[in-house]
Amino acid sequence: MHTEGAGAALRARLAERGTVQAMATHSPLSAVLAEEAGFEALWASGFELSALYGLPDASLITMSDHLDMLRAITGRVGIPVIADLDTGWGNAVNAAHVVAQYERAGAAAVVIEDKVFPKVSSLTPDGRQELLRVEEFQGKLQAALAARNDADLLVIARTEALIAGLGQAEAMRRAHAYEAAGADMLLVYSKSRSPAEIEAFVAGWDGGVPLAIVPTSYPELTLERICAWGKVGLVIWGNHAIRAAVDGMQTAFARILNEGGIAGVETAIAPVGEIFRLQGVESMKEIEDKFLK
């Protein structure tokens, strides 16, 4: 999606549908597949990109790595892309620089979390989960908001208070503070195996901006149930693209070794013609026929 209008397109989808589903992506190929499947938006996931590089999600992937991938993704799809900026790669100065770069690259929204840089993935067992002071994160959000040229670019504040074990009251206090700083939406995250923690937060939310959730740890939570709450504008399916890819490759690789060849696996994987289609080979051939003289 081109930079101009990306934020407006996402806002229009939110206004029209009430709740938008975003599928995680780590590459242009996964982005195209998610769009073809019917998802309304994409989540340019730091976790998935880190996994693609075979690295922990611990601020090891550089901003340039992530930004280059976002450019590649937005250049191949026509649905809004929400950029996972982790902590914004530093303080308020860094966040302002980063947001301007991502806006130019075609992001429809950016998500910044209130953890200390460098961060550790929220789902890491016994991971270090250190949060910024509320006032410092408010300043980071305000710097991000001031850096955007298009007022339609959504700046989404993500609080990790529940991840850090600080409880509902602290999560709510931070959410209200971030709304007061100007956030367009609030993402609240939990690694509880039950949706009860998130459900309690949503029930208690009395702010004026919609919520975003990532139901990774509690898969029994359905879209129907989420929509019934009436407060969640964005549902992010946060790491399923990379997990599906890993499972598919592990299965195919093991079968080839176990069977001593590729004959058996051929009918279980995508045909080469499907890869050609996704690559746009037909369009390439049309250009060749027209212009190669």
DSSP state of 115: B
Positive or negative: CA dihedral 72, 75, 79, 84 = positive
Three-state DSSP class for residue 135: helix
Q: Tally the residues of the chain.
A: 293
How far is residue 122's CA from residue 128's CA, in Å, rounded to a whole number? 9
How far is residue 143's CA from residue 208's CA, in Å, rounded to a whole number? 21
Catalytic residue among 57, 84, 114, 184: 57
Distances (CA, A) of 185 to 57, 64, 90, 154, 259: 24, 25, 21, 8, 51
For 8-15, the CB contacts below 8 A with 24+ separation are 8/150, 8/152, 9/79, 9/80, 9/108, 10/41, 10/80, 10/82, 10/108, 10/109, 10/152, 10/154, 11/152, 11/154, 13/40, 13/41, 13/80, 14/210, 14/233, 14/234
How far is residue 242's CA from residue 220's CA, in Å, rounded to a whole number? 20
Active site residue 247: no
- Catalytic residue set: 57
